[in-house]
Amino acid sequence: MMKVFLAHTPEMFAGYYGDRALAALRAHAEVVRNPGDAVLYGAALADAARGCQAIVADRATPGTEQTFAAAPDLVAFLRVAVDISTIDVAAASTAGVLVTRATPGFVDSVTELALGFMVDLARGVSGHVQAYRRGEEPMGSMGLQLSAATLSIIGYGRIARRLAEVVLALGMRVVVSDPFATPDDPRITHLPFTEALAAGDFVVCLAISDATTRDLFDAAAFARMKRGARFINLSRGELVDERALEAALDSGQVAAAAMDVGRAQDQRPSAFLARRPDVIAAPHIGGMTPEAMEHQAMDTVRQVAALARGELPDNAVNAAAAHRLARIGVRAA
């Protein structure tokens, strides 16, 4: 029977794996759990996973060159997330270790969070709640009606498509900017990045994260927005120059912002922004619903099951280089 190391800390296990997925995983492999409360990485992760053929890693657990070099028994490194930016795929390939990823199971949950952020930013709900909790009697303020507003979505992947569907049903005008995808819906306007920024009462970052999009939202981008626009980041922290966003908020160029991601540990919002009264921040909870969590956890269960059967699992990233698969009777692509 295969032996698998589940890297999740108790906190990450509760939020991103769960007992049902663990029980399903144990039907296909002997499972060794992270013995402590700390995120393991480098040689420490390799040492904890000694004797295991696979590591099932949450998004906080990196796959480093040191881990692959110090884990002679390791055949596969399975990420319980779509994002593999903290996995050194080149080092894994050099070692002959397979890397896999999960499929997006969080489209609806992140879309719903986006809608909640938009309503809050439009009506100032969080500010009123906080005032009441301080024992104050807040004055009502004029809000922004979503059905009369324009949403500019930067990036047109699965979440963006779902969000567009939802807000169109509310009567919003939708603008999209993506150099690689063109909307089919005639109700959606496709614009270049700078024009999309200028059009939106709300601007939502849902772009992919790669070398070309790092600091995509910089001082120049915020300056191109409609003055008083609301900004939302639901993609990755590195897409936003956080000091530039701070300056845009200070000047009123951006009226308010909401973020579920940032440049703090584990893609959480940075504290200097999260503390601001004109910012709504959540600690990377977009995928934290039972349905979204279980979808991605079960992806890794199916991947382990495939390996146990001697088959190449779905969503392999570097199958051609994974020569260690032969040890468990799996032919690399």
Q: Which domains does the chain have, with CATH numbers?
A: 2-104+290-328 (3.40.50.720), 107-281 (3.40.50.720)
Q: Which tokens sit at 28?
A: 């296909």
pLDDT of residue 141: 85
- Contact (CB, 8 A) for 161 and 151: no
Mean pLDDT, residues 113-121: 98
- Contact (CB, 8 A) for 304 and 25: yes
- Work out the angle at residue 251's Cα, subtended by the Cα atoms of residues 250 and 257, and round it to the nearest 5 degrees: 60
> What pLDDT, in 10s, does the model give residues 267-319?
899 999 999 999 999 999 998 898 998 999 999 999 999 999 999 999 999 99
- Contact (CB, 8 A) for 218 and 244: yes
Q: How confident is the model at residue 333 (pLDDT cuts 50, 70, 90)?
A: low
Distance CA 72, CA 5 (A): 14
